[in-house]
A and B are shown apart, each in its own frame.
Chain A
Amino acid sequence: MKKLLTFLMIGMIVASSGYAAEEINIVGSTTVLPIAQLTAEEFMNSNPGIEITVGGGGSSIGAKALVSGTCDIADCSRPLKDKEIDEALAKGIKPKPHIVAMDGIAVVVNKSNNLKEISSDDLKAIYTGDISNWSEVGGSDAGIVVVSRDTSSGTYEAFNELALKKAKVRPDALLQASNKAVLQTVVQTPNAIGYIGMGYLDDSVNALVVEGVFPTKDTVLTKEYPISRPLYMYTDGEPKGQLKKYLDYVKSVEGQKLVESQGFVGIA
């Protein structure tokens, strides 16, 4: 009788757990955030038993969450740093990168600015403070207002590495906390220059040709555009079960259409 009751109780527990929604927790880059939000929404619509929560915070926060085991997927707009990989491995977590999209970091100026293109050297010189007037790069005689991202941003880290070759941004640069804030500042400031993920590019600003290449789907996908980067979702080891199903969906033709609808470059 006692055994029967035990079996019944175990059976009830197992049965009740079967009704609980499976959860996937995603944390990290604000650049990858719109991709994660949209794909999660669509995935949950067709898989009602799965609950996906999506949070931002930045690539560093995502990496920390992966290392501490508090998320299933870490969104990163840059590859994990050596230190982050070491910390993860030390805790028995093996980060597995999944490239879910490509992104070009567009260099943008105000609509009133007639400049159409810029060299990599001039771009670096503007951001490091060696050039501070538009006339020095073929523009009108006006001081350059430099807009950058805060140092915790993955977009900043990618721009700093790809465009500035890790040089220090001039100390008087206006630091903004998001792509939208950079866009807004450049729209409102006639002599401003900024950089944003391609997904945020619209007609309110002019995107510059960099080193003779305009940021387009093809030039970003081939990395011909010099400031292009992959966007990642990291998991702990090979994903399994619903986690694998979700990531397969993000990388599928259908998922990549959603990626492209957000202005990023699909990889499918």
Chain B
Amino acid sequence: MVETTIAKKIIICAVIACVICVHMPVINAGEVDILVQKLVDKGILSPVEAQTILDETKIGVKEEIANVESYGSPTWAQRIALKGDLRTRYQYSNTDGNDPEVRHRGRLRLRLGAIAKVNEQLEVGFGFATGENSDPRSTNLTLRNDFSKEGIYLDYAYAKYMPFDWAEVIGGKMKNPLWTPSDLLWDSDINPEGAALNLNIDVNENIKAFMNNAFFIMDESSSNNNEPTMFVFQPGVEMVVDNLEFKTAGTLYATNDAKGYAQDWSAGSNNKGNYNWICLAGGAELGMNFDKEGLIPYAGIFGEGVLNIDSEDPGFLFGAKIGDKKVKTFGDWQLKGSYRYLERNSWIDSYPDSDAWGGATDVKGLEGILEMGLMDNVILSLDYYRMAAIQDGAKEDIFQVDVSYKF
């Protein structure tokens, strides 16, 4: 009798599975629920058996959908993921000093990138971006010149080898492999060239340790065998304890043959002939996650500092942010404010945020950003910079209104 009942249940489960598989594209979860509930009501299935069938069905259907999606596209397309964004911007700037200037500009930025899976351990990434020239710190196009056609540049192209879950080797022109809590030292548009080795170790459930190592080629010259290069070592740790998140890293930047070298995209504020670039930097970010549905889901503070050991010039930035941790959709928001102080020879003047005093060093000032989600993947951003030269006190105000569309 017992065997008959078990056999009956097995047959019923098999029938349900077949019905779901055959009619998977048209059947919905609600219909399965009703079917299973009727079998429970009739005493054929126990509530636990019914729940198991529902859970397994859900996973099975998702697996089928994933397979159908992947079968429906060519093999080469399955290996490539595309992403990109368009940003439209109004920018007001008011600069005083020797050459005072007030400007109103319309600008836009388009980026399109792809990650192609070569095999299970190797990927290739590449991306293109707009730009008025090959400036590594700007992908903006200013609206001008009687609707002239504009240029697209190679933004990055790299190969990434991942022999283990905890290690990756990157070579080429890559997304910045270093972690920084702000753009005090590295403009977010910069994609360094060279090689990197990133190591990530899970110490336990709450703590991760990482070590980013990089060798960057800063320049190359046919007439000079002593091209400037940079070695970077960045050990760090990331902790999550309940609602609290903390991440910190120390960084050693050591350049070779960079003393006195005139870089193509220098902002002109360093005394290049006088100092080597051996810099110690450190950054940290502390955040607290609150109720995701509450008014303030996240609040955090962050800071970064740098010291050029040769010139003994320091630089630092500290700030705070509240709102959503990331702004992605309607109703999300984030308010962020920071203060920076970067002495003339504390850091290489080709790399800091280009919107803060033209990306030069010898700068101090405030930045405030309000980001709001307008709809899914559409973000409004209001960014205000109040910067000044440390030595001569000349000031610059920049106000940017951005709408970004991510896809």
A residues apposed to B, CB below 8 Å: 27, 55, 57, 61, 68, 70, 79-80, 82, 85-86, 89-90, 94-97, 99, 102, 150-152, 168-169, 171, 177, 221-223, 230, 232, 267
The answer to whether B202 and A70 have CB atoms under 8 Å apart is: yes
Provide 20 A-B residue pairs closer than 8 Å at the C-beta atoms, listed in order of the A residue: A55-B205, A68-B165, A70-B202, A85-B62, A89-B59, A89-B66, A94-B59, A96-B59, A97-B52, A97-B55, A97-B56, A99-B51, A102-B47, A102-B48, A152-B242, A152-B243, A168-B291, A168-B294, A169-B291, A267-B48
The answer to whether B48 and A79 have CB atoms under 8 Å apart is: no
Q: Which chain B residue has the least Cβ–Cβ distance from A64?
A: B205
Chain B hits for A169, CB < 8 A = 291
- Please report the C-alpha to C-alpha distance between residue A150 and residue B292 in the assembled complex, in whole angstroms: 11
- Please report the C-alpha to C-alpha distance between residue A55 and residue B242 in the assembled complex, in whole angstroms: 15
Chain B hits for A171, CB < 8 A = 291, 294
Chain A hits for B56, CB < 8 A = 96-97
Which of chain B's residues 291-313 have a Cβ closer than 8 Å to chain A?
291-294
Which of chain B's residues 18-63 have a Cβ closer than 8 Å to chain A?
47-48, 51-52, 55-56, 58-59, 62-63
The answer to whether B55 and A79 have CB atoms under 8 Å apart is: yes
Q: A70-B202, A151-B291, A171-B291 are in contact. Are A85 and B59 (CB under 8 A)?
A: yes
The answer to whether A177 and B62 have CB atoms under 8 Å apart is: no
Q: Which chain B residue has the least Cβ–Cβ distance from A173?
A: B291
Report the interface size class on chain B. 20 to 34
The answer to whether A151 and B292 have CB atoms under 8 Å apart is: yes
0/1 interface trace, chain B 268-300, chain A, CB 8 Å (1 if under): 000000000000000000000001111000000
B residues apposed to A, CB below 8 Å: 47-48, 51-52, 55-56, 58-59, 62-63, 66, 165, 202, 205, 242-243, 291-294
- Please report the C-alpha to C-alpha distance between residue A264 and residue B165 in the assembled complex, in whole angstroms: 38
- Starting from the known contacts A94-B63, A151-B292, A152-B243, 10 additional A-B residue pairs (CB-CB under 8 Å) come to A70-B202, A79-B58, A85-B58, A85-B59, A86-B62, A89-B59, A99-B48, A102-B48, A152-B242, A169-B291
The answer to whether A222 and B63 have CB atoms under 8 Å apart is: no
- Please report the C-alpha to C-alpha distance between residue A86 and residue B70 in the assembled complex, in whole angstroms: 13
Q: A97-B55, A223-B47, A230-B48 are in contact. Are A89 and B62 (CB under 8 A)?
A: yes
Q: Which chain B residue has the least Cβ–Cβ distance from A90?
A: B66
- Please report the C-alpha to C-alpha distance between residue A58 and residue B52 in the assembled complex, in whole angstroms: 21
The 5 closest A-B pairs by CB, nearest first: A97-B55, A168-B293, A267-B48, A223-B47, A230-B51
Chain A hits for B51, CB < 8 A = 99, 230
Q: Which chain A residue has the least Cβ–Cβ distance from B243?
A: A150
Shortest A80–chain B CB gap in Å is 8
Shortest B16–chain A CB gap in Å is 16
The answer to whether B291 and A57 have CB atoms under 8 Å apart is: no
The answer to whether B58 and A99 have CB atoms under 8 Å apart is: no
The answer to whether B205 and A61 have CB atoms under 8 Å apart is: yes
Shortest B36–chain A CB gap in Å is 12
- Please report the C-alpha to C-alpha distance between residue A232 and residue B21 in the assembled complex, in whole angstroms: 24
Shortest B262–chain A CB gap in Å is 48
Shortest A97–chain B CB gap in Å is 4
Shortest B214–chain A CB gap in Å is 26
Chain B hits for A102, CB < 8 A = 47-48
Shortest A248–chain B CB gap in Å is 15
Chain B hits for A267, CB < 8 A = 48
- Please report the C-alpha to C-alpha distance between residue A20 and residue B285 in the assembled complex, in whole angstroms: 43
Chain A hits for B205, CB < 8 A = 27, 55, 57, 61
The answer to whether B59 and A95 have CB atoms under 8 Å apart is: yes
Chain A hits for B292, CB < 8 A = 151
- Please report the C-alpha to C-alpha distance between residue A169 and residue B291 in the assembled complex, in whole angstroms: 9
The answer to whether A82 and B59 have CB atoms under 8 Å apart is: no
Q: Which chain A residue has the least Cβ–Cβ distance from B62?
A: A85
Chain A hits for B62, CB < 8 A = 82, 85-86, 89
Which of B55, B56, B242 has its CB near the most chain A CB atoms (within 10 A)? B55
Chain B hits for A79, CB < 8 A = 55, 58
Shortest B34–chain A CB gap in Å is 15
- Please report the C-alpha to C-alpha distance between residue A89 and residue B69 in the assembled complex, in whole angstroms: 13
Shortest A236–chain B CB gap in Å is 12
- Please report the C-alpha to C-alpha distance between residue A96 and residue B53 in the assembled complex, in whole angstroms: 11
- Please report the C-alpha to C-alpha distance between residue A150 and residue B242 in the assembled complex, in whole angstroms: 9
The answer to whether B293 and A89 have CB atoms under 8 Å apart is: no
Q: Which chain B residue has the least Cβ–Cβ distance from A88?
A: B59
Q: Which chain A residue has the least Cβ–Cβ distance from B63?
A: A89
- Please report the C-alpha to C-alpha distance between residue A267 and residue B165 in the assembled complex, in whole angstroms: 38
Q: Which chain B residue has the least Cβ–Cβ distance from A100?
A: B48
- Please report the C-alpha to C-alpha distance between residue A171 and residue B165 in the assembled complex, in whole angstroms: 40
- Please report the C-alpha to C-alpha distance between residue A95 and residue B47 in the assembled complex, in whole angstroms: 21
Chain A hits for B242, CB < 8 A = 150, 152, 177
Q: Which chain B residue has the least Cβ–Cβ distance from A267?
A: B48
- Please report the C-alpha to C-alpha distance between residue A168 and residue B55 in the assembled complex, in whole angstroms: 26
Q: Which chain A residue has the least Cβ–Cβ distance from B293?
A: A168
Q: Which chain B residue has the least Cβ–Cβ distance from A98?
A: B52
- Please report the C-alpha to C-alpha distance between residue A55 and residue B206 in the assembled complex, in whole angstroms: 12
Chain A hits for B291, CB < 8 A = 151, 168-169, 171
Chain B hits for A97, CB < 8 A = 52, 55-56, 59
Chain B hits for A96, CB < 8 A = 56, 59
Chain B hits for A150, CB < 8 A = 242-243
Chain B hits for A68, CB < 8 A = 165
Q: Which chain B residue has the least Cβ–Cβ distance from A65?
A: B205
- Please report the C-alpha to C-alpha distance between residue A85 and residue B29 in the assembled complex, in whole angstroms: 16
